[in-house]
Amino acid sequence: MSLIDERGERYIRLNYLATVGSHAVNGVSQLHTELLKQTVFRDFYQLYPDKFSSKTNGVSPRRFLLQTNPELANLITSKLGQGWIRNLDQLRELEAYATNPGFRREWLRIKQVAKHELATRIRHQTGLEVNPNSLFDVQAMVIHEYKRQHLNLLHILTLYNRIKANPQVEITPRTFIFAGKAAPDYSTAKLIIKLIHAVADLVNRDAAVRDRLKVVFLKDFNIKTAQPIYPAIDLSEHISLVGTEAADTGNMIAALNAALIIGTPDGTNLELREAVGTDNFFQFGLTAAEVQQRRSQYNPMTLYQANAELREAIDLLSSKQLTQGNTELFQPLINLLLYSDPYLLLADYPSYVACQERVSRTYRDPEECRARWCSDDSCTSVD
How many whole angstroms separate alpha carbon 383 and alpha carbon 381? 6
% pLDDT > 90, the chain: 81
pLDDT value at 27 more than 60: yes
319 secondary structure, DSSP code: S
The whole-number average pLDDT for the span 226-241 is: 96
pLDDT in tens, 195-210: 999 999 999 999 999 8
The whole-number average pLDDT for the span 12-39 is: 90
**pLDDT class for 379, splitting at 50, 70, 90?**
very low
Which pLDDT does position 366 carry in this prediction?
Answer: 55
Per domain, the residue ranges of the chain are 4-53, 61-381
Mean pLDDT is lowest, of 25-34, 58-67, 216-225, 369-378, for 369-378
pLDDT in tens, 73-95: 999 999 999 999 999 999 999 99
**pLDDT class for 264, splitting at 50, 70, 90?**
very high
Which pLDDT does position 375 carry in this prediction?
Answer: 40
pLDDT value at 369 more than 90: no
The whole-number average pLDDT for the span 356-382 is: 62
Q: How far is CA 242 from CA 265, 271, 294, in A?
A: 6, 14, 12
How many whole angstroms separate alpha carbon 201 and alpha carbon 196? 9
pLDDT in tens, 140-164: 999 999 999 999 999 999 999 999 9
How many whole angstroms separate alpha carbon 16 and alpha carbon 44? 8
Which pLDDT does position 316 carry in this prediction?
Answer: 97
Say what the pTM is.
0.90
Which pLDDT does position 368 carry in this prediction?
Answer: 54
The whole-number average pLDDT for the span 41-55 is: 93
Share of the chain residues as helix, strand and coil, in percent rounded to the nearest 5: 55, 10, 35
pLDDT value at 48 more than 60: yes
Pairing of strands 11-12, 25-26: unpaired
Q: How far is CA 192 from CA 57, 82, 97, 182, 334, in A?
A: 27, 43, 43, 9, 11
End-to-end CA distance of the chain: 62
pLDDT in tens, 339-368: 999 999 999 999 999 999 999 999 987 545
Residue 155 near residue 113 (C-beta atoms within 8 A): no
How many whole angstroms separate alpha carbon 300 and alpha carbon 151? 14
Mean pLDDT is lowest, of 26-35, 271-280, 360-369, for 360-369
Q: Which residues pair with 178 in a beta bridge?
A: 139, 217
pLDDT value at 296 more than 60: yes
Which pLDDT does position 381 carry in this prediction?
Answer: 37
3-state secondary structure 366-381: HHHHHHHHCCCHHHHH
pLDDT value at 370 more than 80: no
Which pLDDT does position 161 carry in this prediction?
Answer: 98
| Topology classification of domain 61-381 | Rossmann fold (3.40.50)
pLDDT value at 98 more than 70: yes
Q: For residue 251, which of 225, 217, 280, 279 has the smallest C-alpha distance?
A: 280
How many whole angstroms separate alpha carbon 360 and alpha carbon 339? 32
How many whole angstroms separate alpha carbon 219 and alpha carbon 237? 18
Averaged confidence pLDDT in the chain: 92
